[in-house]
Chain A
Amino acid sequence: MNTETTAPPAEEHASRSTWLRGSAGRNLGLVVALALICVVGVITGGERFADWGNVLTILRLAAVLGVVSIGMTFVITSGGIDLSVGSVLGLATVWATTLATQTMAGNFHWIVIVFTAMAVGTAAGLVNGVIIAYGKVVAFIATLAMMAGARGLAEIISDRQTQRVEVSEFTTFFRADFLGVPVLVWMFVAVAVAGWFLLNRTTFGRRTVAIGGNAEAARLAGIKVKRHTVYIYGLAGLTAGIAAVGMLGRTTAGTSTNGFLLELDAIAAVVVGGTLLAGGRGTIFGTVLGVLIFTALTNVFTMNNMTSSAQLVAKGLIIVVAVLLQQRFANKPSST
């Protein structure tokens, strides 16, 4: 057998060029976009935008969407979709603020509220996963059903009333800062970092990408595709539960309308971030940038007294343009 000695440099070269052309190049575009938004913000808002307090406001607002989007990144990378995360978040905020939960939290520890929200989110996600993987229902439909069902359940439990968080230790904790940065933002950072490791450094992440890239090949390679699918939707539910905790921390209000249409923002942030809607390629870093872009944009719009209706139109345009640009880049023939 003739083993070529030239192999290692060739490989190195390949890896360097794919690095430039691949995720880093895409993320660079997103960073430029984010920078542009900031420039526009500074020009139009001046001091008001560039203020550190305003930056923290943007990040605090980004936290809830961001956490949900990390879970959504896994779902979309695996070739699925989860339309229920917004409703599940609403349900989790309601469940975690019922009289029963709050009494228990008051008697025991405020962490009960956190665990309740996370458990409700995870359970809803696992139900999604089981219906999709074992019931063989298309993800779009299964999570659409959960979207309706969870919202309805939240309304029943709360009787459409706003449930205030009365456990003051909970509120104090989530309103606090740590090293000058709000706890909510730390929560987002923690979830994003964990998500990055999970996607890029674990067998779980590797299998998620493989299933999204070619589910049949993954099955024939011996991957337990169904079980893995259940885990992925469970993970999305878990992030919706964590985001619910963030929402409660920020607003102290458990209501059935929490997270309304959040799933659309999350999907938009993930796809704008560079994760393929068809599956097989996902980027946590891109998702974080996508989330920041959307949140900063909203901030700039609001600062310029744009109505929320006009903001929606602008957002829609931006999604289309971003995806069109991405496809243009993705279709560039790579000289392999």
Chain B
Amino acid sequence: MVTEDPPAPLLQMQGIVKTFPGARALDGVDLDVLPGEVHCLLGQNGAGKSTLIKVLAGAHRPTEGTVLMDGEPIDIPHPVAALEHGVATMYQELDVVDGLSVAENVFLGHELATAGFTKRRELVRRTREILARLGHSEISPNREVSSLPAAGKQVVSMARALSHDARVIVMDEPSAVLDSGEVDNLFRVVEELTNQGIAIVYISHRLEEIRRIGDRITVLKDGRTVGRNLEVADTPTDELIRLMTGRDVEFVFPDSPGVPEDAPVLLDVEGLTLDGTFTDVSFQVRSGEIVGLAGLVGSGRSEIIETVYGARRASRGTVTVAGKKLRPGDVPAAVAAGIGLCPEERKSQGLVLDEPVYRNITLSSFAGIARAGWLDEPAEKRAATEQIEALDLRPRGAERAARTLSGGNQQKALLGRWLVHGCEVLLLDEPTRGVDVGARSEIYALIRRLADAGNAVVVISSEIPEVLGLADNVLVVSDGEVVHRCPAKDINEHGVLDLVMEGTIA
């Protein structure tokens, strides 16, 4: 390609090193961001992306290295300094204050005020301007943020970045909380921003998103830059995955041996309804079968399995486990009958993070390790260690706090909880969320192995290929209804999206 000189970089990070006691999180990272580009930051969990953006946001000070803005070295000792230099960061957990209005959130920390009295009208006017710039005039500045969906909160977060006159906006997995319609919207906003000359540093695990909006890519691995300023258009996916992992394939889905017709039905859901959320959901899962629920965020898929589990009380319908009908809204009964749920939010719903791994594994069932309420701790540790080894949970230490495990290993600990309990029906909500690309295939193989061992498994995932690759049979959920059911091999991602967006397979 013959072009004029490339524009001068807006933001440069050179040779950034960050050491923590006992760990070298960043070991010489370079990053060049041009004005008006979407610069994607790729890398597995632990590659150093989070540390890098924290350096940029002023949350960490680099041990070595330089950050330059317009070619001038800058110092970012604290988060306010980052904003003063025009760098705004949108973290994955949206940092909006629910009880405040949109306008108050946008100007949080730099309220427009005279002598401490807020200028409410000015605040609302400026907020409206910024929202219009983002193409979201429909959000009222006076609306309370708690009433907005995740996508709306994200817009508020972006508006806050603009209120600081940000020239670089760092977005940490912004699409993780959005469904695909909302993602389109996000991309429109991103385009809007880049047209105004603002640079976006975009972090995502989803390669297809990077293909859609990215301009250039920097790949991190083990705290180093391994791929620098790769043009999105000329870099094949294989190459990226190879750089990130040293592996050539992304996901390996294990083959299903097929479910025999005469396999016993372990889970039978009949006409399950939760008023206002989903209606008349029926399905069966046989021993050895994986059933996938495909659908967008907000389609009701998580609510369906939470209701099956009893974490929500069904309005109508029945759940039968191995022939035993469950009382609605009774989690202990469901657990006793042999259902286990690995919830969507592992950290807030699944694990007691400061407790050791073995106690997390045995939390649901003290059968065989306690007599009349007295714990036999050696037996407990033996039972947990058995699962730790069977699941290849790493590192092996049963005494380690659950908090210190990686996402994939936390997921294994949760699976271990149900296996030690002898559950035969496993409900897995987003089993690979927050799990490294490299560790995913291992989780897939594990889920398949559990099914092959005779368990009935229900899997939910936002990533449609994951559901299709893993499941024997798929239910497509849209707006609280099962709109289609078929063997997983008879449908592709495109078909599922057509169903949830158009209602038919095109």
Contacts and interface: CB of A to CB of B under 8 A. Distances in A.
A335 B23 CA distance: 9
Nearest to A202: B373
B355 A210 contact: yes
A221 B346 CA distance: 12
Contacts of A204: 373
B363 A201 contact: no
Contacts, number: 97
A14 interface: yes
Interface in B400-417: 400-401, 404, 417
Contacts of B363: 206, 210, 217-218, 221, 223
Given A11-B398, A14-B400, A220-B311, A214 B351 contact: yes
Contacts of A213: 352-355
A161 interface: no
B374 interface: yes
B395 interface: yes
Contacts of B311: 219-220
Contacts of B351: 214, 217
A3 B230 CA distance: 39
Contacts of B20: 333
A220 B397 contact: no
B21 A335 contact: yes
A7 interface: yes
Interface stretch (B93-101, B129-137, B212-220, B335-343): B335-343
A204 B370 CA distance: 11
B352 A222 contact: no
B246 interface: no
Interface string A136-164: 00000000000000000000000000000
Contact of A222 (B343, B364, B397): B364
B400 A218 contact: no
Interface string B448-463: 0000000000000000
A15 interface: yes
B375 interface: yes
Contacts of A210: 352, 355, 359, 363
Interface string A4-15: 100100110011
B22 interface: yes
Nearest to A333: B21
A221 B335 contact: yes
Contact of B350 (A3, A7, A220, A333): A220
A220 B399 contact: no
Nearest to A17: B399
Contacts of B366: 203, 206
Contacts of B349: 216-217, 220
A224 interface: yes
B352 A209 contact: yes
Which interface residue of A204, A218, A222 has the most chain B CB atoms within 10 A? A222
Contacts of B395: 10
A222 B389 contact: no
A15 B377 CA distance: 14
Contact of A220 (B331, B354, B377, B398): B331
Contact of A336 (B373, B398, B400): B400
A204 B351 CA distance: 18
Question: SS class of chain A's interface: helix, strand, loop or mixed?
Answer: helix
Nearest to A6: B396
A58 B163 CA distance: 62
Given A10-B397, A11-B397, A221-B417, A216 B364 contact: no
A228 to B, nearest CB: 11
Interface string B7-32: 00000000000001110000000000
Contacts of A7: 389, 396-397
Contacts of B352: 209-210, 213-214, 217-218, 280
Contact of A206 (B336, B359, B404, B417): B359
Nearest to A201: B375
Contacts of B114: none
A139 B368 CA distance: 34
Given A11-B398, A220-B331, A220-B349, A3 B389 contact: yes
A259 to B, nearest CB: 30
A222 B334 contact: yes
B238 interface: no
A18 interface: yes
A281 interface: yes
A3 B392 CA distance: 8
Nearest to B341: A220
Contact of A216 (B334, B348, B417): B348
A23 to B, nearest CB: 13
Contacts of B197: none
Nearest to B336: A222
Interface in A1-55: 1-4, 7, 10-11, 14-15, 18
A201 B332 CA distance: 22
B331 A280 contact: no
Interface of A: 1-4, 7, 10-11, 14-15, 18, 201-204, 206, 209-210, 213-214, 216-224, 280-281, 333, 335-336
**6 closest cross-chain pairs (CB), A and B:** A222-B335, A213-B352, A7-B396, A14-B397, A336-B404, A15-B399
Given A202-B373, A209-B352, A210-B352, 9 more contacts: A14-B400, A15-B397, A203-B366, A203-B373, A213-B353, A216-B348, A217-B350, A335-B22, A336-B400
29 contacts: A2-B392, A7-B389, A7-B396, A7-B397, A10-B397, A11-B398, A11-B399, A14-B399, A18-B399, A202-B373, A203-B370, A210-B352, A210-B355, A213-B355, A214-B348, A217-B349, A218-B363, A220-B311, A220-B343, A221-B335, A221-B363, A221-B364, A222-B336, A223-B332, A280-B354, A333-B20, A336-B400, A336-B401, A336-B404
